[in-house]
Structure 1
Amino acid sequence: MIDSKIMETTKSILKEFGNTYFSDKGTLKRNKVIEDLDAYTPILMKALLANQLIHDTYTESVVIDDKSVEIFKLNQFIEMFTYKEYWQDSYTKFENKIGLTAGGKFIDETADVVLDFPFKDTVLKAGMTKEDQKDADEPFLHETIAKAEIDQLLEPKIFVNATKYDQENLDGAPVDNFEDNNLIIKGNNLIALHSLKQRYLGKVKMIYLDPPYYFDETKPADAFKYNSNFKLSTWLIFMKNRLEIANELLTDGGVIFISMGEDGQAHLKLLMDNIFGRSNFVQTFIWRNTDNADSLGKKSRSSVEYVHAYEKNKDSSVRWIGKKTENGDAPLLNTGNPVGTLTFKPGIIRFKISDGIYPAGKYESLEALTDIIVEDGKNSNEIKLRGTFKWGQKNLNNEVAKGGDFIIKSDKFSIRYQKAEGSTMAPEKFVDGPYLSKIFGVGSNEDAKSHIGTLGLDFSFSKPESLIAYFIRAVTQENDIVMDFFMGSGTTQAAALKMNRRFIGVEQLDYISDGVERLNKALEGEQGGISKDVNWQGGGSFVYAELMEKNQGYLKDVQQAETTKQLEDVVHRMIEGGADFDFRVDVEKVLQDPEYQTMSLADKKQLMVKVIDKNQLYYAYSDMEDRDVQELMSESDITFNKSFYGSVICNGQKESTRTCLTHCS
């Protein structure tokens, strides 16, 4: 490769030092040069600065106390030795030199020091699809992005193909207005979450996630629809960035539930402690995910999965009551619900406190409107209790008719319901508390697979609706917002719809179409899953929209290229179509480089993925001011975006989204 003029000049100076900076074969010892430059080796610095070209290019005059002082721009000079010619200026400086910075300059350039955490590409995508791992070892995982670019990356994005589905329009109809409808978004979930931030900040009551699991061992290529072979550090950053914005979206008292297998659950627990706060930990539920017995030859419990639950600000006015008990009883009380009165017939409540008479009056968790007489561990009289109950009298009577009863375990009088089967739970059901299983009305993978099959869908490892319904029932009321941004087959959204909760779903992969089809069948009133339990008859609606792709489409084409010719066609189409490349890269110069031409297909793809500007994966909402962008959109979509982003409540005031972003950032 032909050296630039400045490099030729530098090499000629370095050759004056004999073998100090060159090997016996004449190869430049770049690391040695950088080491001596960092050390300001006097003899080397003197030789370099004596050259007029280097002096004029890399020195700058500054005035200090009325005196002119020349400063040598050392970092810029060093960059010449660390990057290829086609990496113009400082494209990879953050991945080659990571450390303490202030104002974008490293510690050796300033006395003001802050810790600068390098943003990796997991902010963007992190191997969510298998294509991200295909033909390369986690491509662009060492790429880092400056803070200003991260801000640009996470700006609200344009929605296109906005379509509303309801019983009258199961095929969907274009919609140009958004009125807090149920919402399904196709696109990168991190970017989508930031696009939802201003409308839904602090408004989501429950989040359930079934994310890509972390596995200690590499999984077969066809085990999951998504990429399941993360490095641990990559997976943790991938999850961290998404959970941080999820925490912002939760309302005070809102609860997040995340499912995880045994390999990743301990790592996830530590991460959630850090993001949501250890004091906000509620419980780790253990779900028996199969009807089949464990294999005796397996060392780990492959028949169970873990669901970590955290509440946002547990000291808030909405307080989680339904913590686990030794019998696995479901919560009956939740202080976020309206106050009501329930009547309990004699013998319905079991007491784990002493027999005796407990007078009418207010207790910590409820108010007794009648005296409570406890004999032989049960209430011997009909009693009336006033509190913030999860159920009404009708539901209570139905559960009693099934043989269920209720339990009070302390003088705080927090009451919980236990199904009739609970007393016959086998000892093997207990692992640090009860399994969530069919004893509690929670189904298994087999139930989920059977349900998915009746819907005519092909989706492996879907969760049963009854699992999600268990959590929805515990922490939400009708019309609360339930979110799942690893939507998959749409289990969370279907359960929320059937339980009259509002929902938001986000999915990047193409099987989002399965989720839409499933929800359409739910609109019609399909009777699988929890439908019969909640007397679901159909109804409701939702809006589907897509983040408007910009470089995301090119990125997918590069990743999916199977031959060098296909890759070349994509790259030329990118150049001719005006794709956004990193501003520090001359792509045409890359293509002409002899070293690039001799690369393997996998290396070429990895390089092209690297030079695509990932800050421009999708069009920003601010781009709608550009007529060229508007020409790519339908009139309906333009109106829909204005409706969605038109105005939001920010700091108590109704303002434009852009103004609010400025205030709230």
Structure 2
Amino acid sequence: MERNELQSLQELKEEEKIKILDRASNGILEKENADFLIKLIDNAENKTEVLKISALGMTYKRTGFHFDVRLEKNGGQTIRYLKKNENLSFDQGGITHKLIIGDNYPALLNLLINYKNKIKVIYIDPPYGKDHLGVFAQTNYNNAITRDNLLSMLYPRLILARQLLKDDGVIFCSIDDRNQAYVKCLFDEVFGEGNFLYMLSVVNNLNGNDNSSGMIETQEHCLFYAKNKDYFEVGVLPLDDEDSSDWQIDDLGYWKLGGSLKATGINAPREARPNLFFPIWINKQTLEISLEEQNNNWHKLIPLTDGKEMSWYWSKDKFIKDKDEVIVKKVGESYSLYKKQRPQLGDLPSKRAKTTFYSPKYANANSNKELKEIFKEKKFDYPKASFFIKDLISIANTNHNDIILDFFAGSGTTGHAVLELNKQDGGNRQFILVTNNEITDLNPNGIALDVTSKRLKRIMSGECYDESKDFKWLEKNTPYGDSLEVSEIQSIASSDHSVFEKIDEKLYGKDFENIHDKIEWICKEFELTCRKIEGE
């Protein structure tokens, strides 16, 4: 047992012990209680036990707010692993995206085997409504102080999510008015209050929802946290069509009229910055500029404001070096100089995002229409708009090869958004989606089978699994391409030796040449298999 201890298990133990010691040092936990929890963690046999024990010492040290922890149901002495669904998977070349069907808790544990510190963006839209959390986690809306079940369900999943994130990774969480304060406290505890970036107000219905409360509700919220704020820089948004009319293109890409090059403010007068006062010569016909004295058809321009000599923002060397970045405008009998404003996303015009996150494309009506064009009928309640997720990925400042995870994937909007963004900028981002197969009135075979997998199949290949192509989305869109690997969470008794045959290491990026290496790997990476029979 000791010899075959999981390295990742030991790392998790050390991380959780540090948190407990930190709580004790801050007077949140009694020393005796902290020592007892650490002793329990040292003797824990798997990651689930570690998280349960750590949760017992959970408090909100910054707010005084706390919840009564309800532990994850014990799955027994079983191993939960990924099994490929050959019928739902398809290979078209390109990037291989992933869809995992099943409970997201064992799915996250399985992802840790191959994706620890590799995920750039996580987006989740947890089921925070009282009727959507299942038997174990039904939020009690009559309890005005705590959301024990919701928070207990999220806590271990966020711990695992943080381990999956890269150092410069970020996580977004959509949440409603009623729960946002509680869930933010949970995020503060797991990710650290110092890594909070923004609380976005997402306007998804400008006309509002009339819930007879006295006011019209127009938005929900989206939490935005970094794994480590010091390593992250907020990205920008590409311009919508209606925002792009002011942009022009030259040999260097997009540009539009920027700020004046004549200085303003307390340091603008000539005497404050004498080195930045000098004449600039402007050709009256071509509007070309020169720093050398010219004659005849040239105008001598000096920086003046109300007849007072001022200065330029740029030095002489800067004007010479970047003269193609100068815009000359004639104003009456004189001239004014402006700089070209360049976009921040390569050759794509862009804008800074606002914390009030609004676009007509985010509207609930638009997201419902988008899904209906793929399925011809309503298949899912309250889907998110792919435009909204795409914009979140943009402000997450992803590069072209990053991985995006959604472990409450629902209808698969996050996957749709990643595919659209790759098409837009030529990226190779990979999505990983996790969803259960909850059976609903709209989806008698379950959400994963009736909605998520079928949506991805249709928009990626242009046809459904039955090879039908009669859906409206194809009229205005070209299939995105790429491949999809679909796997399901399976369980097996830890004492069943057939586990070494049933676990497919290729689903975890491995390909062993002999069974001994595979057995050693499974015993190392999967909980409970560490208990090898003595002598084997």
Same fold, TM-score > 0.5, yes or no? yes
Match of 2:313 among 358, 364, 370: 358
2:410 is the counterpart of 1:488: yes
2:163 is the counterpart of 1:235: no
* Alignment of structure 1 residues 320-339 onto 2, 5 Å: 320-322=234-236
Cα deviation 1:229-258 (Å, max 9, x = unaligned) = 413111111111111111111111111110
* Aligned mates of 1:518, 1:279 — CA distance in 2: 38
SS of match in other structure, 1:238: helix
In structure 1, the residue matched to 2:389 is: 468
In structure 1, the residue matched to 2:492 is: 619
2:436 is the counterpart of 1:508: yes
* Aligned mates of 1:443, 1:644 — CA distance in 2: 35
TM-score relative to the length of structure 1: 0.47
SS of match in other structure, 1:357: coil
The answer to whether the 8 A contact 2:329-2:337 is kept is yes
* Aligned mates of 2:52, 2:484 — CA distance in 1: 35
The answer to whether the 8 A contact 2:258-2:339 is kept is no
The answer to whether the 8 A contact 2:407-2:435 is kept is yes
* Aligned mates of 1:464, 1:524 — CA distance in 2: 21
SS of match in other structure, 2:157: helix
* Aligned mates of 1:362, 1:210 — CA distance in 2: 52
Match of 1:644 among 496, 503, 508: 508
Distance 1:301 1:254, change over 3 A: farther
Distance 1:492 1:381, change over 3 A: same
The answer to whether the 8 A contact 1:156-1:194 is kept is no
Percent identity, aligned pairs only, is 25
Match of 2:399 among 477, 494, 500: 477
Compare the two structures and name the one with the higher helix fraction.
1
* Aligned mates of 1:486, 1:508 — CA distance in 2: 8
The answer to whether the 8 A contact 2:364-2:383 is kept is yes
* Aligned mates of 1:256, 1:201 — CA distance in 2: 15
C-alpha root-mean-square deviation of aligned residues, in Å? 4.9
> Deviation of residue 380 (structure 1)?
3.8
* Alignment of structure 1 residues 413-424 onto 2, 5 Å: 416=351
In structure 1, the residue matched to 2:162 is: 247
SS of match in other structure, 1:207: strand
2:233 is the counterpart of 1:319: yes
In structure 2, the residue matched to 1:524 is: 461
* Aligned mates of 1:470, 1:350 — CA distance in 2: 31
> Deviation of residue 452 (structure 1)?
1.6
In structure 1, the residue matched to 2:185 is: 270
> Deviation of residue 362 (structure 1)?
13
In structure 2, the residue matched to 1:611 is: none
The answer to whether the 8 A contact 1:448-1:464 is kept is yes
The answer to whether the 8 A contact 1:645-1:656 is kept is no
Distance 1:342 1:285, change over 3 A: farther
Structure 2 unaligned blocks of 5 or more: 1-31, 41-48, 57-68, 141-146, 238-242, 245-250, 266-310, 331-335, 423-428, 438-445, 464-470, 513-517, 531-536
Q: How many residues align?
A: 376
> Deviation of residue 445 (structure 1)?
1.2
In structure 1, the residue matched to 2:278 is: none
In structure 2, the residue matched to 1:259 is: 174
SS of match in other structure, 2:106: helix
> Deviation of residue 462 (structure 1)?
0.7
Match of 1:210 among 115, 125, 129: 125
> Deviation of residue 119 (structure 1)?
3.0
Cα deviation 1:394-422 (Å, max 9, x = unaligned) = x33xxxxxxxxx7xxxxxxxxx458xxxx
> Deviation of residue 491 (structure 1)?
0.6
SS of match in other structure, 2:492: coil
Cα deviation 1:104-140 (Å, max 9, x = unaligned) = 999xxxxxxxxx99939x99xxxxxxxxxxxxxxxxx
* RCO higher in structure (CA 8 A, sep ≥6): 2
The answer to whether the 8 A contact 2:83-2:488 is kept is yes
Cα deviation 1:333-354 (Å, max 9, x = unaligned) = xxxxxxxx95564625699x94
2:368 is the counterpart of 1:455: no
Distance 1:436 1:368, change over 3 A: farther
Cα deviation 1:552-594 (Å, max 9, x = unaligned) = xxxxxxxxxxxxxxxxxxxxxxxxxxxxxxxxxxxxxxxxxxx
Instruction: Specify the code of the residue in structure 1 equivalent to 2:338.
Output: N
SS of match in other structure, 1:498: helix
Structure 1 unaligned blocks of 5 or more: 1-97, 107-115, 124-140, 170-178, 324-328, 331-340, 397-405, 407-415, 419-431, 549-617, 649-653
The answer to whether the 8 A contact 1:361-1:369 is kept is no
* Aligned mates of 2:51, 2:415 — CA distance in 1: 35
* Alignment of structure 1 residues 22-101 onto 2, 5 Å: none
In structure 1, the residue matched to 2:19 is: none
Distance 1:200 1:530, change over 3 A: farther
TM-score relative to the length of structure 2: 0.58
Distance 1:529 1:348, change over 3 A: farther
* Aligned mates of 2:167, 2:475 — CA distance in 1: 30
* Aligned mates of 1:496, 1:390 — CA distance in 2: 20
The answer to whether the 8 A contact 2:196-2:225 is kept is yes
The structure with the largest alpha-carbon Rg is 1
Cα deviation 1:179-231 (Å, max 9, x = unaligned) = 983111111101110111021011111111111115xxx55xxxx59678413
> Deviation of residue 479 (structure 1)?
2.8
The answer to whether the 8 A contact 2:404-2:431 is kept is yes
Distance 1:142 1:467, change over 3 A: closer
Distance 1:512 1:150, change over 3 A: closer
> Deviation of residue 470 (structure 1)?
0.8
Range with greater deviation from structure 2 (259-268 or 500-509): 500-509
The answer to whether the 8 A contact 2:95-2:483 is kept is no
* Aligned mates of 2:385, 2:186 — CA distance in 1: 26
Instruction: Specify the code of the residue in structure 2 equivalent to 1:461.
Output: Y
> Deviation of residue 319 (structure 1)?
2.2
* Aligned mates of 1:168, 1:345 — CA distance in 2: 38
The answer to whether the 8 A contact 2:104-2:408 is kept is yes
> Deviation of residue 381 (structure 1)?
3.4
Distance 1:181 1:417, change over 3 A: same
* Aligned mates of 1:361, 1:239 — CA distance in 2: 58
Cα deviation 1:507-562 (Å, max 9, x = unaligned) = 12231111000001111359988997xx75421111001111xxxxxxxxxxxxxx
